[in-house]
Structure 1
Amino acid sequence: MPATLSFLTRFSCRTWVRYSLALFPMLLSVSCGPESGDRPTPSASNPPTTSNREVKEFNVIDVAVIPALSPKEQEKQLESLAEYLEKSLGYPIYFQVTPSYEQAVELLVQEKVEVAYLGPLTYVLAQQQNPQVEPIVAPIEKSTGRPSYTSVIIARKAAGIDSLSDLKGKRFAFVSRSSTSGYLVPMAHFQKIGLRPDQDFATVKYSGNHDKAQADLEAGVVDAIADSRPSLLKRQKSGKLDPSQYQIIWESAPIPMSPIVVSKKLSPEIVSSLKKALINAPEGLADVTGAESAGYTLVEDADYEPIRQLQKTLEANSGPRQ
């Protein structure tokens, strides 16, 4: 079986299925017909191998990715990673940028994919629903040289917001209730200092991903947003979110980086090969947010215990996530 396939060709069918998920859940079972560069048809000379798991057809590794960026941009960012993994593992890799954070968790928990790029919180949520999933590696943030990042609150200077207390009466956007830096960490801090977004802010919006939250801020839809520093730096590098017009008014303590998580359906041999490939990956491959990484490092469940405890505290004070 050839190790590399046309990334754009592979995405042609997956893209249609992915965007259909939000409206037609039954399409999860749709299989794409053979295309140039698509899944190979088994034959006597090319039989389906089941060394990694009996139920997986043709040795294809499906990977769900949380929607940190716009789908097209995120797919482009992941192209080099897909090509590298296919060459390293010898298996076709099919990435799915899901419509929502929750969809990525669902696909992994229900074992409809074998691997997922999740955020720290979405990993915790997935592990609560399926204890068999486990994190294997996480990217090293290039700007810090560490497997951690921070959450930030960014505000429009024209809105007269210089501190968290100035957010009262203003319009605010979180990324998603399943986002670590775009909801969990800043929301926990709001609770700690007695700030109640549902009562103290003029409006509260959930933009869906980091790109959309940033776009809402730039368009003047909101006055401030919760974001991650790597995502902010990436946006500013592209010439947007000009520091002369926008400022960070709060930054969190370090947060463990977003892990790559695997299902127990993958054999130990495949998991070991995947770990080795990622640890030996060249610098610069995109992480889940599309930000540049300085390689990957091994992680384990205990690394995300602070996120688990933060989630429990938040739910205890405000009730379960909606």
Structure 2
Amino acid sequence: MSMMIYLSGSAARSAGTRSADSDKRVEARSAFIPHRKRLIQHAVGCSAMVHSPPMIARTLAYSALWLMVALSALAPAAAVAADGLHLVLTPSQKPTDLLATGEEFAKVLTKLTDIPVRVTVASDYAAVIEALRNRTADLAFVHPVGYVLASREAKAMIVVRNLWHGKSSFTSRIYVRKESGLKSLEELRGRAMAFIDPASSSGYTYPMVLLIQRGLVKNRDPKTFFREVVFAGSHDAGMRALLNGHVDALASFDMAREQYLKDPAERERIVYIAESPEIPEAGIAARAGLDPAIFAKVREALLQIRAPVYAGLLLRLYEIDGFAPADDRDYDPVRAAVELLGVRPR
């Protein structure tokens, strides 16, 4: 399965650019320090000079103004890059198709915010978190566990929550082929199991919690129960692997069968034997340090992207209906699952 690895080249270029920019800022600051000292000395000296009260007030005011301008040269870099915002997509489907739709989505967001938005597809779920952590991404589509990890590791903040099939939550299911005759989780002992990604909510974290709570998986290691464990990388690839007999079972979200198997005959061949509790939908997260005004503008724009105007675009993107307001506290149950499983970014 092919994945677009955006970090391999672009991250290196971004890192080089940041390094060069940092060197320039250091040189500028070093050259400026003596000048800043003179300004400060000038401000102090002016206060000691004998003038009439109005003259003293004006002199101090001008000195303070120049001092503020001078010190502003040492302020941190702008909260948004000159080329606008960078939105990273989670690779839950074929990357080439996702990128094309993502670019269309970026154009809509650009139009609504009047801020240029460019888009890339991450190589895997962990790369999304890393992009938010190292600030090569300003915004990212995240799944629930991905958001919890990004919040913990990168101080990311949720912007909006997905509306999906009219809901703001979903479940994880463990699927098998109907012809296999498998009816329960216990019957999967010694079988081949496909998960999606170690950081996937429905494709790893929640099904693993279910298996641990049933006493089937020991020491958080799925190989204590399954003969073989593979990570498909995307939900559609996992569903195909199950359908084609490469694995005996698959962990994925509750609508994966309907979303990826359009042929009714194929869909009939897949059933599920276990289901998790409800999982809150995630959506789009922003990196730490994003300008609050830009954060608010992006959130306002995203809440406008919904059916019927954008129904086709949202369907092709992640088969969602739109976005709803979100709060970090919504994900406390996901945090509990993450802690139980001991999930860490790779």
- State whether TM-score is above 0.5: yes
**Of residues 59, 71, 89 in structure 1, which corresponds to 2:113?**
89
| Alignment coverage as a number of residue pairs | 280
Once the two structures are TM-superposed, the CA of residue 123 in structure 1 deviates from its matched residue by 1.0
What amino acid sits opposite 1:151 in the alignment? S
8 Å contact from structure 1 (residues 134, 261) kept in 2: yes
Q: Specify whether residues 271 and 24 from structure 1 end up closer, same or farther in structure 2 by C-alpha distance, changes over 3 A only.
A: closer
Q: Hey, what does 1:221 align to over in structure 2?
A: 246
Q: Hey, what does 2:46 align to over in structure 1?
A: none
Q: Hey, what does 1:293 align to over in structure 2?
A: 320
8 Å contact from structure 2 (residues 5, 121) kept in 1: no
Q: Hey, what does 2:167 align to over in structure 1?
A: 146
SS in 1 for 2:298: helix
Any idea what the Cα deviations from partners look like across 1:171-223, whole Å, max 9, x if unmatched?
Answer: 11000110000000000000000112312212111111212212211221101
Q: Hey, what does 2:102 align to over in structure 1?
A: 78
**Of residues 285, 290, 301 in structure 2, which corresponds to 1:266?**
290
**Percent identity for Structure 1 against Structure 2:** 26
Distance 1:211 1:62 in 2: 26
SS in 1 for 2:167: coil
8 Å contact from structure 1 (residues 285, 293) kept in 2: no
8 Å contact from structure 1 (residues 285, 295) kept in 2: no
Distance 2:312 2:293 in 1: 23
Q: Specify whether residues 88 and 321 from structure 1 end up closer, same or farther in structure 2 by C-alpha distance, changes over 3 A only.
A: closer
Q: Specify whether residues 93 and 216 from structure 1 end up closer, same or farther in structure 2 by C-alpha distance, changes over 3 A only.
A: same
Q: What is the RMSD of the two structures over their aligned residues, measured on CA atoms?
A: 2.7
Question: 1 or 2, which has the higher helix percentage?
Answer: 2
Q: Hey, what does 1:202 align to over in structure 2?
A: 227
Distance 1:254 1:76 in 2: 31
Would you say 1:126 and 2:153 are equivalent positions? no
Once the two structures are TM-superposed, the CA of residue 30 in structure 1 deviates from its matched residue by 6.9
In terms of mean alpha carbon deviation, does 76-85 or 220-229 score higher?
76-85
Distance 2:215 2:235 in 1: 25
Q: Hey, what does 2:12 align to over in structure 1?
A: 26
Would you say 1:135 and 2:189 are equivalent positions? no
Q: Specify whether residues 270 and 84 from structure 1 end up closer, same or farther in structure 2 by C-alpha distance, changes over 3 A only.
A: same
Q: Hey, what does 1:8 align to over in structure 2?
A: none
Distance 2:16 2:244 in 1: 38
Once the two structures are TM-superposed, the CA of residue 269 in structure 1 deviates from its matched residue by 1.6
**Of residues 227, 233, 237 in structure 2, which corresponds to 1:212?**
237
Once the two structures are TM-superposed, the CA of residue 27 in structure 1 deviates from its matched residue by 4.4
SS in 2 for 1:233: helix
Would you say 1:184 and 2:184 are equivalent positions? no
Q: Select the structure of larger CA radius of gyration.
A: 2
Any idea what the Cα deviations from partners look like across 1:256-295, whole Å, max 9, x if unmatched?
Answer: 1122101233222211111111111132266699432222
8 Å contact from structure 1 (residues 148, 255) kept in 2: yes
Q: Specify whether residues 288 and 177 from structure 1 end up closer, same or farther in structure 2 by C-alpha distance, changes over 3 A only.
A: farther
Distance 1:55 1:30 in 2: 19
**Of residues 89, 105, 113 in structure 2, which corresponds to 1:65?**
89
**Of residues 257, 261, 278 in structure 2, which corresponds to 1:254?**
278
Q: Hey, what does 1:158 align to over in structure 2?
A: 179
Would you say 1:312 and 2:339 are equivalent positions? yes
